[in-house]
Amino acid sequence: MTETAVTAAASPSQRRPYRVIQWATGAMGKTCLRSVIDHPDLELAGLYVYSDAKAGRDAGDIARREPTGVMATRSIDDILALEADVVLHCPLLKFPYNAHDDDVCRLLASGKNVISINNYFHPASLGEAHAERLKASCERGGSTLAGTGINPGLIAERFAPVVSGLLTELESLLCREVYDCIDMPNANYVFDVMGMGARPEEVDLENGPLATLFGAMYRQCVGALAERLELPLTDIRNDHQVTLAPRDIKARAGTIRAGTVAATNWQIHGLIGERRVITHSVNWVMGGDVPGYEQFSHWEVSLRGKPGIDIRMDLVEPENTGVKTTAVQYGVAGMVTQAIPHVVSAPPGLMTFPGAPHYTPRLS
């Protein structure tokens, strides 16, 4: 281990624990909450929930841990009044995509750093006015805003740039996620938020709510990656697709009828002129019988150029943990909690994480 690594590893215990507010306790939020409760360098300062049934309960009870003395609240004013270093923002996606902005701006203006898993990955990709509003809230509170997670958060923003450091010339770069949703339990999420089971005539892949929401979310991956590689994109364009079920598919959340949506592909291209230099392709599919999805890794990063590179990444489910937490939930919680020291020590404003290549590959 190098001297620098020893110093970096030792530093967290030399300061007081980071005071953390957990915002929302779904599958992702609860995994983050447990990581905070279990981590010696983190101290739970507050807990915001949406459901009345959880309000007033001890955070430890919600997380299946010992009592913490921190009670869940539905009041943002209670949260704003707390002394805390950072808020871990893990609510459900809402329509429209910017529906959480008011809450986040209030948190930032009150002096709390915010790490979100839903948005704020690369705000400039959603327009200057949007980024300026967030920046102004950061300036008011002397706070920092960062979005992170696996996708968005890691694959395009951090993996792809690091890997591109091997290239002398870049032709094109594809980041692809394929996630099998056949065992997802939450019917609202699968049918309403992911759009499965919709009749094709109901799906507007250009201006519909899902196309707009996921277009805005994943456009930020393309924008962040282009910025890291200093690629002078002239346009970012949606190219969304759906695949219909060849027969009825029995999924855990309910039945996907034949002829309705059984896979969505939220696909965004980063262009220079008419040339597709970056493609970010997010595929959610109801099982392996859907045409085109017979074999896949969870994430793939494919670069073409000199040299070409193909990287496949699958998370491995931890064994014998006795809890239902999935590898993806641990992965997102890891990205979020490990970001805390960096976000807390960053200067006020919108933060991007390191992950740049050693130099920018030449476009061939």
Report the chain's C-alpha Rg in angstroms: 21
CB of 47 to ligand NAP, least distance (A): 8
Binding-residue total with ligand NAP (CB under 6 A): 25
- Return the range that interacts with ligand NAP (CB under 6 A); candidates 1-9, 25-33, 127-135, 228-236: 25-33
- Return the range that interacts with ligand NAP (CB under 6 A); candidates 27-35, 207-215, 227-235, 282-290: 27-35
Q: How many CB atoms lie within 10 A of CB 207?
A: 9
* Site map (CB under 6 A) of ligand NAP, residues 325-354, x = contact: -------x----------------------
Q: How many CB atoms lie within 10 A of CB 159?
A: 19
| 231 belongs to the binding site for ligand NAP (CB under 6 A) | no
CB of 300 to ligand NAP, least distance (A): 16
Query: 241, 239, 243, 242: which is closest to 268 by C-alpha?
Result: 239
Token pair listed for 72: 């869940």
- Return the range that interacts with ligand NAP (CB under 6 A); candidates 90-98, 131-139, 273-281, 298-306: 90-98
Give dist(CA 129, CA 170) in Å, integer: 32
* Beta carbons of 29 and 90 less than 8 angstroms apart: yes
User: Among 35, 36, 42, 54, which residue interacts with ligand NAP (rule: CB under 6 A)?
Assistant: 54
CB of 119 to ligand NAP, least distance (A): 8
User: Among 106, 179, 189, 276, which residue interacts with ligand NAP (rule: CB under 6 A)?
Assistant: 189
User: Among 123, 141, 153, 215, which residue interacts with ligand NAP (rule: CB under 6 A)?
Assistant: 153
| 313 belongs to the binding site for ligand NAP (CB under 6 A) | no
In Å, how far are 47, 281, 308, 313 from 20, measured between CA atoms? 9, 33, 42, 30
Give dist(CA 100, CA 91) in Å, integer: 9
118 vs 281 by CB, closer to ligand NAP? 118
The distance from CA 345 to its chain's CA centroid, rounded to whole angstroms, is 21
100 vs 112 by CB, closer to ligand NAP? 100
| 141 belongs to the binding site for ligand NAP (CB under 6 A) | no
Closest CB to ligand NAP: residue number: 26
150 vs 268 by CB, closer to ligand NAP? 150
For 46, what's the count of Cα atoms within 13 Å in the CB-facing half-sphere? Answer: 23
Token pair listed for 243: 């695949």
Among residue numbers 94 through 133, which ones bind ligand NAP (CB under 6 A)? 94, 117-118
Query: 301, 293, 172, 300: which is closest to 242 by C-alpha?
Result: 293
| 315 belongs to the binding site for ligand NAP (CB under 6 A) | no
Q: Of all helices (H) and strands (E), which one includes residue 87?
A: strand 86-89
Give dist(CA 23, CA 68) in Å, integer: 16
Q: Of all helices (H) and strands (E), which one includes residue 222?
A: helix 209-229
| 76 belongs to the binding site for ligand NAP (CB under 6 A) | no
Residues that bind ligand NAP (CB under 6 A): 24-29, 49-51, 54, 90-94, 117-118, 149-153, 186, 189, 332
